[in-house]
Amino acid sequence: MRLHNRFPRRHQPGQSMVEFIIVTPVMFLLVFGAIQFALLYQAKTTLNYATFEAARAMAAMYMDISEDPGVDRTAAARDLVRAEITGSDTEPAFAEFQLINPSDDSFRDHGIDVDGTCQIPSDNLMYRDAAVKGASQQTVQDANLLKLRVVYCYPLHVPFIDRMLTTILTQLPDDMCPHCIGTYGSGDSIERTCLTNNRFPLNAQAIVRLQSPATRQGACP
């Protein structure tokens, strides 16, 4: 009689349960994380397109710039970007719009008085003086580049991944979370506002050539 027949092999019940308990959380993280980052990628692509469309519209018909640069400069861009991203109004706290160029220094160095307004000329740029001037450290050709920056707080939809991302990015490393990086652990930046409201900050920039003179009311400084 063979030995293995006398002593039949005994199975170990519960082995697959142990493997399931170990593997399942990892699989959930991978699958949910892939879904969330796919949504973020789609949102970033949409934001890039919306920012470019807003910049192109501003370049074609530049709005007058008042003495309050925080309002009139970005009003048109804000409406265009919101419409492209959400199709409706976005809460102001969850979106930041910054017109980087032309700046106040650009108007100071290259602006000319035209009928009670200050304008940066946009015609015949090939033949205009290409000297770098003043505080802006720009040529008139550089001053005719419109640069728009948008930060949008995209809502995180995937459960568990949303809390994990916001915790890692806002909490400083400690015993409970040694791998937290605390990138936005303090301050009142738009990124911090996004993360504390369970949203992820997405950034987009667009640069286009102005097709009409940049204009602001009043005499040039």
Q: Which helix (H) or strand (E) holds 42?
A: helix 15-60
Is residue 153 a contact partner of residue 199, using CB atoms and an 8 Å limit?
Answer: yes
State residue 220's pLDDT score. 77
Per-residue pLDDT of 123-181, as tens digits, reads 888 888 888 888 888 888 888 898 888 888 999 989 888 888 888 887 777 766 676 66
Edge to edge, what strands does the sheet with 95-101 contain?
Answer: 95-101, 145-155, 199-209
* Secondary structure (3-state) at 75: helix
pTM here is 0.74
Q: Which amino acid belongs to residue 93?
A: A
State residue 104's pLDDT score. 84
State residue 39's pLDDT score. 93
State residue 72's pLDDT score. 45
Is residue 74 a contact partner of residue 104, using CB atoms and an 8 Å limit?
Answer: no
**Which residues of the chain are under the pLDDT cut of 70?**
1-15, 62-92, 175-177, 179-188
State residue 195's pLDDT score. 85
State residue 66's pLDDT score. 46
